[in-house]
Amino acid sequence: MHKFINKIVYKHLKIILCMQKNTPELWDNLWKRTAKGEDTKNLQREELSIRWQRIEKIIKAKFGSFSNLNVIEIGAGSGTNSILFAKRGAKVTILDYSKKAIERSKEFFKRNNCQAEFILADALKLPEKLKGKYDISMSFGLAEHFTGKQRKDIIESHLSLLNKNGLAIISVPNKMNLPYRIHKFVMRTLGFWKFGEEYPYTRREFIRIGKLLNIKNIRFMGDSLINSFRFINPWLLIRRKLKIKPKIKKEKGTFLDSYLSYSLVFLAEKG
């Protein structure tokens, strides 16, 4: 009985310790520990993902092409999506408050023969000179790391960067995606969760924030719902342990993606 109680207390202490705050130190440590080969794999995967295919379509419909578009990615990490924009002719700015992330993205851009401007800054305290300057402001895996009032503030930050005809693309985990919720619960319970505080969004939360910020044109899209089952597929874990390389295929989507997939992508137009 004594042992059992100890085990439970230990487990829950671990859960509490896993709830680290979103700080530059948290991300510095994470970027230090992530192997560089991961960036290349992520880039290959992202370029064939249905999320990217959908983003490409939206950009072409709104702006005609990527050429000379002024684009900023905030909380960019290694800047995977920014590289895809840069490769197609956009002028890219990378912003992150983790020094390690900025070092990492500089190196990653160089390896891919791409150019960008790199800015070390807090997305909630943006330098004034950046405001109103961009056709596109975007983030992938940033907004879910904020709580309380800051959840609105981080969306507002994206909008403040846009020019009159600008578009914000904000990709976050979707609260309605069950495989991700199970994965996160298991990882946190076992003490393996690395990303600190992370709270998925719902469409309803975005709509509420959109109203508060007076956004006129709100749209949603997703990534692949089918692919999100990777979170609970034990074969993938075994494959990783056995170092078997997966084949990366072009993803296909379904109409359910924008409701139930892992990524909920919020598109907001200014003006």
Ligand X SMILES: C[S@@+](CC[C@H](N)C(=O)[O-])C[C@H]1O[C@@H](n2cnc3c(N)ncnc32)[C@H](O)[C@@H]1O
Measured from the CB atom, is 72 or 142 closer to ligand X? 142
Question: Which positions from 145 to 174 touch ligand X by CB under 6 A, shown as an x/- string?
Answer: x-----------------------------
| Helix, strand or coil, per DSSP, at residue 239 | helix
- By CB under 6 A, tell whether 101 contacts ligand X: yes
Q: Residues 266, 172: contact at Cβ < 8 Å?
A: yes
Distances (CA, A) of 101 to 36, 79, 118: 12, 9, 10
- By CB under 6 A, tell whether 41 contacts ligand X: no
- Size of site (CB under 6 A) for ligand X: 18
Measured from the CB atom, is 124 or 248 closer to ligand X? 124
State the pairing for strand pair 70-74/263-269. unpaired
Measured from the CB atom, is 41 or 208 closer to ligand X? 41
Cα–Cα dist 116/93, whole Å: 5
- By CB under 6 A, tell whether 97 contacts ligand X: yes
Cβ atoms < 10 Å from Cβ of 32: 11
Query: Among the candidate windows 71-79, 84-92, 225-233, 241-249, which touches ligand X by CB under 6 A?
Result: 71-79
Task: For residue 240, give both structure tokens.
Answer: 């990783």
Among 123, 161, 168, 209, binds ligand X (CB under 6 A): 123
Measured from the CB atom, is 173 or 253 closer to ligand X? 173
CB of 104 to ligand X, least distance (A): 8
- By CB under 6 A, tell whether 177 contacts ligand X: no
Measured from the CB atom, is 133 or 207 closer to ligand X? 133
State the pairing for strand pair 117-120/217-222. unpaired
Cα–Cα dist 67/27, whole Å: 32
- How many Å is the maximal CA-CA distance in the chain? 67
State the pairing for strand pair 117-120/91-96. parallel
Query: Among the candidate windows 92-100, 161-169, 174-182, 251-259, which touches ligand X by CB under 6 A?
Result: 92-100
Helix (H) or strand (E) holding 118, with range, is strand 117-120
Closest CA to 133 of 177, 157, 164: 164
- By CB under 6 A, tell whether 122 contacts ligand X: yes
CB of 11 to ligand X, least distance (A): 25
Q: Rule CB under 6 A: which residues touch ligand X?
A: 22, 27, 75-78, 80, 96-98, 101, 122-124, 140-142, 145
